[in-house]
Each structure stands twice: as structure tokens, then as C-alpha cells.
Chain A
């Protein structure tokens, strides 16, 4: 308030070097109006969209704003790709998830860090008949679905040799063929 008539009327802006500020009339709150590149917020304490960090060190050491780190599993045309402070990724693509888009989503398996999107996370595609509980999730690394007894294959899609009746939905039964009349 410059109208008080004393030398102490004006205070320096509580903003990083070079930033201007203004007082919000209603709340008397001081707001920085021209934060340094890449930063924003009332005190320039936040990173711009697409970046994360803690430029003023409000909750620990100072971390300058850096681009979202999401294992190349975000789309640069999207907005709000990561949390501005923690960097937690918010818009993972290619069927990935996790704070850094570094895991396959439930129901997918593969290497989320592969360079070719086609090699990243593939659907488990578990066979509903051969999989315990008919579930659709598999080992995130190998893609192995949890099979009923005597069921084989990554996707539990076939009976083990010497077994039959995947259709039962509870596992395969031994063929029980007479060794005399069978060809093998």
C-alpha cells in the first residue's frame, strides 16, 4: 500500500529474482505475476504443465522443474501428463501404468520399457476355459496365465499331452486310453 505516506509502504515482491507481483484487492494476498521460465504459482513455487519439481524447495531440497519422466509412455500432445510436484505420471499410454508408466496394466504383459510400442505391453488373452476363475490377468513378465490342473500354454488354451476336456472349465482329465488299443 503506497498510500500510507511512509518509506516502509512498499515491500519487495516475495518472488524469485526478476518476477513482478501484485496485491489481490479482495484478499490482500500478494501474487507473483511474472514467474521465471518454467515456473508458476502464487510464489512461483510450481512447475508449468508437463514439468515437475519443487523450484523453491518447499518440501525438501530444491528440485528445478524437469520434463515429466514417464518412460516414453506418455504422448507429448496430451496435457497434464504428470503431477507438477511429485512427477507421478498421470496419462500413461501403451497399456502401461505406475508412477513412471513403468509397469504393464493389469491384464497385460511384456516389457513396458521396450523401444517399439508393439513390444511393450500385450494383452494376456487368457483362455477363459483353462484359466483359474476365468480371470484375465497374467504374470506381468512372462504372460503366464494361472491354469487349471493339467492345462498348458501361456494362455492356458490347451490340455497337457495325455489330457482332454478343456471344455469342462475346471481342468483337463487324463485320457485313460487302453495302452493295447491306442497308437501312442
Chain B
């Protein structure tokens, strides 16, 4: 087997990062096909944190903290290419706007949120105030909204803004501990997060502001991603990817890789770009 790049077979997958590797688990419905889990990319000298997927060009993007950088590689095979290498402290969360062809990331040392074109050009700081430990970031390209978490122990919060950083607002600040993971599902309009401080998973419709607890007793979540009625999260203590039914709160599946160490970023890859709710695709 080729340890550097395994082309991703068609279908829907989970991608997660662990100890210098990006691995994939194919999904069948909401079930993880654990026997078919494989490394997609082997970066043995790196500590890979966040991962995101561009469904248009079928590229995986990731953040890395040993020689802080943002890189990408084609899922159909190809060498990793670094996209941003300078002026980074600790890049963690990463999100792709597949419509606008941009990448967003949080930096927990420089305490800011930045955006750049997918080739790293046109880089710009969009948020650089009132951030202490920014971590997860997600984009909803059809609505042009950005969401992120800050696990500042003194004042954790979940915020939103437009994709240029304007119209910034705090969405959630009460009853949060360490909101490490964040995901947005554009079909249900639900923003869901996983909290390693309160050990809960919660969801809310950002437009309506109604907030609901989905699951409790979540051990130590780091990243979260959603697909249909299932949310998946990586857990530092269980060293596993765990699947939870968003309606019942029941745990439906878990995958524990052979390698026992912390799992970090997590994202869903679609065989095709999600048919959008944007105006162009409606007509």
C-alpha cells in the first residue's frame, strides 16, 4: 500500500486526523464501514489538526502545527502542497467555501480568523479582536455565514459573522465549557457543537436562536461533523470517532482506530457537492 496518498473511492466518507495522518472511513447510510478505514495521507513528521474538504476539486485541506502551515492534496492522488506557510501561530480549525473558492482558518496563538483563496493568495485577516482560544470554524456558503467557537475558559462563546468578518455577533455564551467542535447542517439549518467542558452536544437554529441539548455524557469531544440525522465526533479520551443520532441522542456507532492516540479534526466528504439551497440551483 502507498502510505502517502490513497485515492478516495466514490461515495460519502468521514475524514479524521490522528498523529500525522489523515484517515478515511467510508459511510454506508450513517454506519461507518470500519473494516474499510484507511489512511488517505501519511505525514509522519506533522501534527495535523483541522481538516476540510473541497467537494468541487476533490481536495483535502488541513492545518498543521509543527511547522505551522495550511496544505492541500488531491484525493485522486497527488503530492501535498502547502498553501499558507508564513505568519501562522497555531492554525487549528479550517473551513472551505466551495462556492466562493476560499479557505478560512482560526489561529489560536495569533488569536485571529483569516481567509485566503484556495491557492493561498488574497489572504486577509477578517477577525482579530476579542478572541482568546478560537478553535472550530464552519462556513455556510449559500447564506454567506461563518460560525466559530472560542474555548476561552473565562468566557467561552460561539460567534457568527458574514464571510468578510462583518456583522459579527455572539450566538451562544451561557452554559458553555470548552466548545471544541462545531458543525452546520444546511438541510436542517442546525448549528451543532460538542463541548468538552459541559460534556454535552447541543444544536440550535442560528436564525431562530432556539437551543436544544442533543446528548449528555460526551466524554472529551474535539471535532464534530454532521450528515443527515447523524452527528459524528472525535473523542480524545475514547480515541475514537463516535456517531450519535441527532433526534434520539443515542450513540449508534463508534470507530476506534488501531493506533491509540488522540483524534483531532473531522469532516464529511460528499461524492458530489451538496445540491445547494442557493438561488442559482433552485431554478
**A residues whose Cβ falls under 8 Å from a Cβ of B:** 22-26, 31-35, 37-38, 40-42, 46, 48-50, 75, 77-80, 84, 91
List 14 other contacts, CB 8 Å, given A32-B44, A48-B261: A23-B3, A24-B4, A34-B258, A35-B19, A38-B261, A41-B20, A49-B262, A77-B178, A77-B180, A77-B196, A79-B47, A79-B65, A79-B264, A91-B90
Provide the residues of chain A in CB contact with B92, threshold 8 Å: 79
Interface of B (DSSP majority class): loop
Contact A41 B39 (CB under 8 A): no
Contact A37 B45 (CB under 8 A): no
Asked if B101 is at the interface of the complex by the 8 Å CB criterion, the answer is no
B172-207 CB contact bits vs A (8 Å, 1 = yes)? 000000101000000000000000100000000000
CA distance A79 to B106 in the complex (A): 13
Contact A40 B44 (CB under 8 A): yes
Contact B264 A26 (CB under 8 A): no
Known: A24-B4, A25-B2, A33-B3. A48 touches B44 (CB 8 A): no
CA distance A25 to B90 in the complex (A): 31
Total chain B interface residues with beta-carbon distance under 8 A: 31
Asked if B66 is at the interface of the complex by the 8 Å CB criterion, the answer is yes
Provide the residues of chain B in CB contact with A24, threshold 8 Å: 2-4
* Closest A residue, CB atoms, query B48: A49
Asked if B109 is at the interface of the complex by the 8 Å CB criterion, the answer is yes
CA distance A42 to B43 in the complex (A): 8
Within residues 27 to 52 of chain B, which ones have a CB less than 8 A from any CB in chain A? 39, 42, 44-45, 47, 49
Contact A22 B1 (CB under 8 A): yes
CA distance A80 to B89 in the complex (A): 10
Provide the residues of chain B in CB contact with A35, threshold 8 Å: 19, 259
Provide the residues of chain B in CB contact with A77, threshold 8 Å: 133, 151, 178, 180, 196
Asked if B211 is at the interface of the complex by the 8 Å CB criterion, the answer is no
Contact of A31 among B42, B180, B196 (CB under 8 A): B42
Contact of B2 among A22, A38, A48, A50 (CB under 8 A): A22
Contact B109 A91 (CB under 8 A): yes
Contact A49 B19 (CB under 8 A): yes
Within residues 105 to 123 of chain B, which ones have a CB less than 8 A from any CB in chain A? 108-109
A38 to chain B minimum Cβ distance, whole angstroms, is: 7
Within residues 247 to 263 of chain B, which ones have a CB less than 8 A from any CB in chain A? 258-262
Provide the residues of chain A in CB contact with B180, threshold 8 Å: 77
B270 to chain A minimum Cβ distance, whole angstroms, is: 27
B242 to chain A minimum Cβ distance, whole angstroms, is: 18
Contact of B45 among A46, A78, A91 (CB under 8 A): A46
Asked if B153 is at the interface of the complex by the 8 Å CB criterion, the answer is yes
Contact of B47 among A26, A37, A80 (CB under 8 A): A80
A-B pairs with beta carbons under 8 Å apart, 22 shown = A22-B2, A26-B4, A31-B42, A32-B44, A33-B3, A33-B39, A33-B42, A34-B258, A34-B259, A38-B261, A40-B261, A42-B44, A48-B261, A49-B19, A49-B47, A77-B133, A79-B47, A80-B47, A80-B66, A84-B47, A84-B66, A91-B90
CA distance A42 to B45 in the complex (A): 7
Contact of B153 among A33, A49, A75, A79 (CB under 8 A): A75
CA distance A46 to B20 in the complex (A): 11
B51 to chain A minimum Cβ distance, whole angstroms, is: 13
Contact A79 B133 (CB under 8 A): no
A12 to chain B minimum Cβ distance, whole angstroms, is: 17
Within residues 97 to 152 of chain B, which ones have a CB less than 8 A from any CB in chain A? 108-109, 133, 151
A100 to chain B minimum Cβ distance, whole angstroms, is: 19
Known: A77-B180, A77-B196, A80-B65. A31 touches B19 (CB 8 A): no
Q: Name the residue among A25, A37, A49, A78 with the largest chain B CB count within 10 angstroms.
A: A49
A82 to chain B minimum Cβ distance, whole angstroms, is: 11
Contact A79 B1 (CB under 8 A): no
CA distance A34 to B259 in the complex (A): 7
Provide the residues of chain A in CB contact with B196, threshold 8 Å: 77
Q: Name the residue among B39, B44, B151 with the largest chain A CB count within 10 angstroms.
A: B44
CA distance A23 to B3 in the complex (A): 7
Within residues 1 to 31 of chain B, which ones have a CB less than 8 A from any CB in chain A? 1-4, 19-20
